[in-house]
Amino acid sequence: MAEDNPEDEIILSELDDAELVEQMFDDLYDGMKEEIEEGVRILLDRGWPPYRVLTEALVGGMKIVGEDFRDGILFVPEVLLAAGAMKGGMAILKPLLAETGAPTIGKMVIGTVKGDIHDIGKNLVSMMMEGAGFEVIDLGINNAVEAYLAAMEAEKPDILGMSALLTTTMPYMKVVIDTMVAQGLRDDTIVLVGGAPLNEDFGRAIGADAYCRDAAVAVETAKALIARRHNRAAAG
Ligand code: B1M
């Protein structure tokens, strides 16, 4: 008679922190959303700050997925499942990251540029910005210049954030900035850009105020540039 082998079943709550994170990397890789959600809850219960869970367990796991996607070991369907699992974990962390009770310090409109449907990094930036006290209007993915302009007109944000994950879509950020310049809107808005293929030189070359390597840098940069603007306004 076939017996269940109890050794086959991994009880997440019985793993120590390092083993659990390692297991979560595997579960993210395999797109196992429920296991990822359980792992996130366990780490939170063990006192991990939400930001640590996010960066060490989720972003860390997605890095491995990205490398194997690049190397042709994983394909779009698997990566979509991994992204779904990551989003499951992020949904648990979102209210906790936004729970700082910080007063609103500025408003940001953010969106992924036209032709690009990657949104995990952008969502993370939105979450962290909200957590730091910014009001965030998220335009989602695949935004043409008209969508950014309409949102800026309607919302009058302090900051426009753009995300691009593809080398083919990142030049579109310049289209948006050039249009802002042409319409006399550029000076009123801080423009921050981010996404894995970008770098500081690119940010400078397209006329952004800053390139943000990750969500934490986006928060720091946004705070610094808003403070600088307030100081300038107070001085002049
Ligand atoms: Co895509 N994909 N993908 N993909 N995908 C990449 C980007 C790629 C690098 C994979 C690879 O080859 N290694 C590669 C791009 C290569 C290139 O351009 N040179 C690639 C490709 C080729 C493609 C397709 C073309 C594949 C195909 O169809 N053949 C296709 C394109 C679709 C399209 O957009 N038109 C495609 C599709 C997909 C999925 C749909 C399967 C899925 C996206 C699901 C989703 O987002 N809902 C997907 C994924 C998941 C990835 C990888 C594996 C992971 C991206 C991610 O979520 N990272 C990615 C590999 C990689 O990046 N290494 C890859 C985790 C996230 C937390 O990091 O997004 O970098 P990231 O965000 C960071 C920072 O960059 C920064 O802060 C974030 C948090 O710290 N940041 C900002 C990001 N945006 C910011 C905005 C700011 C500030 C900071 O504003 C102020």
pLDDT at 22: 97
Instruction: Label residue 56 exposed, middle or buried (CB < 10 Å: 0-12, 13-18, 19+).
Output: middle
pLDDT string in tens for the chain (236-residue length) = 344 555 578 999 999 999 999 999 999 999 999 999 999 999 999 999 998 998 899 989 988 988 998 899 999 899 889 989 998 999 999 888 877 666 678 999 999 999 999 999 999 899 888 877 889 999 999 999 999 999 999 999 999 999 999 999 999 999 999 999 999 999 999 999 999 999 999 999 999 999 999 988 999 999 999 999 888 877 77
pLDDT at 130: 84
pLDDT at 1: 37
Give yes or no for residue 114 CB within 6 A of ligand 1.
Answer: no
pLDDT at 69: 86
Mutate to test the pocket of ligand 1, among 69, 134, 223 (most ligand atoms within 8 A of CB): 69
Q: What's the gap in Å between 65 CA and the centre of ligand 1? A: 11
pLDDT at 172: 98
Residue spans in the chain of domains classed CATH 1.10.1240.10:
10-100
pLDDT at 102: 61
Ligand 1 atom, smallest distance to 159 CA: 91
pLDDT at 131: 72
Nearest CA to ligand 1 atom 53: 66
Residue spans in the chain of domains classed CATH 3.40.50.280:
107-235
pTM assigned to the model? 0.89
pLDDT at 2: 42
Mutate to test the pocket of ligand 1, among 78, 114, 118 (most ligand atoms within 8 A of CB): 118
pLDDT at 100: 61
CATH of domain 10-100: 1.10.1240.10
Residue range 107-235 in CATH 3.40.50.280: yes
